[in-house]
Amino acid sequence: MSKRAAVTSQIMDIEGEVLSTSLGSYFPIVWDQAAGSKVWDVEGNEYIDLTCGICVTSLGHCHPRVTSAVSRQLQDLVFCYEFPHPNRSRYAQRLLDTLPFDEGRVLFKSTGGEAIDTSMLLAQFETGRNEFIAYHGAFHGATFGALALTGERKYKEGYFLGQRVHFVPYPYCYRCPLGQSFPGCDLRCADLVAHAIEYASTGSIAALVAEPMQSSAGVIIPPAGYWTRVREILDQHDILLIFDEIQTGFARTGRFYGFEHYSVVPDIIVLSKAIANGLPMSVVAARSDLLAHWGPDAHSSTFGGNPLACAAGLAVLDTIASEDIVGRSQEIERIIQDHLRPLANLSSVGDIRGLGALWGVEFVSDRATREPAPTTVAEIRQDLQEAGILTVNGGVHGNMIRVLPALTIDFDLLHQTLTTFTSIVGEHGEYRIGRDEGDMPDAEIRVPA
Ligand SMILES: Cc1ncc(COP(=O)(O)O)c(C=O)c1O
């Protein structure tokens, strides 16, 4: 073993001994440095990052503007508890300019799960009700409230989670829980929300919590009209709509927020991950009337809205505007779609879905039965890593490879990386017709109408 490889294995061994066994099991790479879309490990190997730490470093690692804003702030003021400071007021105003509320307010937290819990408390406090609706496959964090909303058993097994949550199937058209197909289905799955309210609940539902598109559960993009129908149902019962935009927000899907692809406006929006490009920061944003009733000292947090996180947040907003990051996300969508399209002819590929810079390829062992193929995903990701490309998996069956490049990625680099990506994926299956054929059925690349 080389000296450098020995460093990797030593660090892996220590982590294996002293860290909780609950952490994700990633491939054995020990990160050393990162810049833009590139990562270097302690052995000096270079990788292209198609994960962004799951939609966190969306402006690329160590974006110079964010780094210098944070460095400057480190010299001036790191922490001031809840005392007002210029960054916090400026950031809150700038953030509200991006949000859909005529009049809105924000509450700062540090992590996604924490902000989700806060949104649940807010919904309970404002409605005087205590139940929630959430979705199969949902992941909203590992805190007590967020975990109760989680629609995946592996995250919940072994706990008593208290909250009363009614789960409904997400509109996952490729594996429609009702065996229907869109648009002939007439969005029957949305009616299951009405069923949960009318038959499963005690009539005390405070809010429905959802990602506008489920990311980790498999880049699942609800068909056109779905959220409008759900919003109508919720309005009939005065139930709040909370959108978790922690992965889909901040230009990831080709619009500033994921919900902008649909004609709905939620009551509460939860943000985190990309908003500070790697620093811990989260936000609960809501219509003013919802965030104006908690009394003084009723709800705050030690690190929420600290000067460093707000400096990073402001630099992120400046960069999104000055580098036309929303426009770049749309161009990235075109590039990814062009590269991935031929994979729709591959025997091991069941479906390809995406928007902006949020894409996933779903692998199956049999296209007819749609049997998920998580082992194929593990093999391909290993090959990709050996070729210097880092990816993350997805899907409740673990049978998806997600493609989540930085929104600042150089387009030539993206083309090169995707050429390698599709060539490696192509080795794990048979092309039914030529890999360069462009005449794939539309249904095999899903973007909302
Ligand atoms: C959609 C979504 N919501 C919430 C969370 C929880 O965020 P955190 O890990 O910062 O608590 C995550 C984390 O992956 C997420 O993907």
Listed residue (330, 354, 357) closest to 417, CA to CA: 357
Choose the weakest-confidence range: 130-139, 153-162, 348-357.
153-162
Kindly give the distance from the C-alpha atom of residue 139 to the centroid of ligand 1, in angstroms, as a whole number. Answer: 7
Kindly give the distance from the C-alpha atom of residue 170 to the centroid of ligand 1, in angstroms, as a whole number. Answer: 18
Residue nearest to atom 3 of ligand 1 (CA): 140
Q: What is residue 374's predicted lDDT score, i.e. its pLDDT?
A: 97
How confident is the model over 58-67, as a mean pLDDT?
A: 98
Q: What is residue 443's predicted lDDT score, i.e. its pLDDT?
A: 40
Phi, psi at 150, each rounded to 5°: -75, 130
Query: Could you tell me which residues come within 8 angstroms of residue 224 by beta carbon, excluding any fewer than 6 positions away?
Result: 262, 448, 449
> Which tokens go with 26?
């990633």
Most informative mutation of 23, 155, 246 for ligand 1 (most atoms within 8 A of CB): 246
Q: Which residues line ligand 1 (CB under 6 A)?
A: 54, 111-113, 116, 139-141, 211, 216, 244, 246-247, 272
Residue nearest to atom 14 of ligand 1 (CA): 141
pLDDT confidence band for 4 (50 / 70 / 90): confident
Kindly give the distance from the C-alpha atom of residue 401 to the centroid of ligand 1, in angstroms, as a whole number. Answer: 18
> Which tokens go with 212?
């506008």
pLDDT confidence band for 87 (50 / 70 / 90): very high
How confident is the model over 118-129, as a mean pLDDT?
A: 98
Percentage of the chain lying above the pLDDT 90 cut? 88
Q: In the predicted model, is pLDDT for residue 56 greater than 90?
A: yes
How confident is the model over 428-444, as a mean pLDDT?
A: 65
d(Cα 308, Cα 322) in Å, to the nearest integer?
21
d(Cα 165, Cα 150) in Å, to the nearest integer?
9
Q: What is residue 3's predicted lDDT score, i.e. its pLDDT?
A: 81
Q: Which atom of ligand 1 is nearest to the CA of 211?
A: 1
Q: Which atom of ligand 1 is nearest to the CA of 247?
A: 1
Q: How many other C-beta atoms can be found within 10 angstroms of the C-beta atom of residue 142?
A: 14
Kindly give the distance from the C-alpha atom of residue 302 to the centroid of ligand 1, in angstroms, as a whole number. Answer: 20
pLDDT digits 0-9 by tens, 196-220: 999 999 999 999 999 999 999 999 9
Q: Which atom of ligand 1 is nearest to the CA of 111?
A: 10
Q: Which atom of ligand 1 is nearest to the CA of 142?
A: 11
d(Cα 77, Cα 305) in Å, to the nearest integer?
13
Q: What is residue 404's predicted lDDT score, i.e. its pLDDT?
A: 98
Kindly give the distance from the C-alpha atom of residue 258 to the centroid of ligand 1, in angstroms, as a whole number. Answer: 15
Q: What is residue 26's predicted lDDT score, i.e. its pLDDT?
A: 65
Task: Output the 3-class SS for the chain.
Answer: CCHHHHHHHHHHHHHHHHCCCCCCCCCCCCEEEEEECEEEECCCCEEEECCHHHHCCCCCECCHHHHHHHHHHHHHCCCCCCCCCHHHHHHHHHHHHHCCCCCEEEEEECCHHHHHHHHHHHHHHHHCCCEEEEECCCCCCCCHHHHHCCCCHHHHCCCCCCCEEEEECCCCHHHCCCCCCCCCCCCHHHHHHHHHHHHHCCCCEEEEEECCCECCCCCECCCCCHHHHHHHHHHHCCCEEEEECCCCCCCCCCCCCHHHHCCCCCCEEEECHHHHECECCEEEEEEHHHHCCCCCCCCCCCCCCCHHHHHHHHHHHHHHHHCCHHHHHHHHHHHHHHHHHHHHHECCEEEEEEECCEEEEEEEEECCCCEECHHHHHHHHHHHHHCCEECEEECCCCCEEEECCCCCCCHHHHHHHHHHHHHHHHCCCCECCCCCCCCCCHHHEECCC
Q: What is residue 442's predicted lDDT score, i.e. its pLDDT?
A: 43
Q: In the predicted model, is pLDDT for residue 33 greater than 70?
A: yes
How confident is the model over 426-436, as a mean pLDDT?
A: 82
Most informative mutation of 23, 111, 139, 219 for ligand 1 (most atoms within 8 A of CB): 139
Kindly give the distance from the C-alpha atom of residue 144 to the centroid of ligand 1, in angstroms, as a whole number. Answer: 13
Q: Which atom of ligand 1 is nearest to the CA of 282?
A: 10
Listed residue (146, 321, 304) closest to 250, CA to CA: 321
Q: What are the structural domains of the chain? A: 3-59+325-446 (3.90.1150.10), 64-322 (3.40.640.10)
Q: In the predicted model, is pLDDT for residue 438 greater than 70?
A: no
Q: In the predicted model, is pLDDT for residue 444 greater than 60?
A: no
Kindly give the distance from the C-alpha atom of residue 342 to the centroid of ligand 1, in angstroms, as a whole number. Answer: 32
How confident is the model over 264-289, as a mean pLDDT?
A: 97
Kindly give the distance from the C-alpha atom of residue 152 to the centroid of ligand 1, in angstroms, as a whole number. Answer: 14
Kindly give the distance from the C-alpha atom of residue 246 to the centroid of ligand 1, in angstroms, as a whole number. Answer: 6
d(Cα 227, Cα 211) in Å, to the nearest integer?
11
Q: Which atom of ligand 1 is nearest to the CA of 273?
A: 10
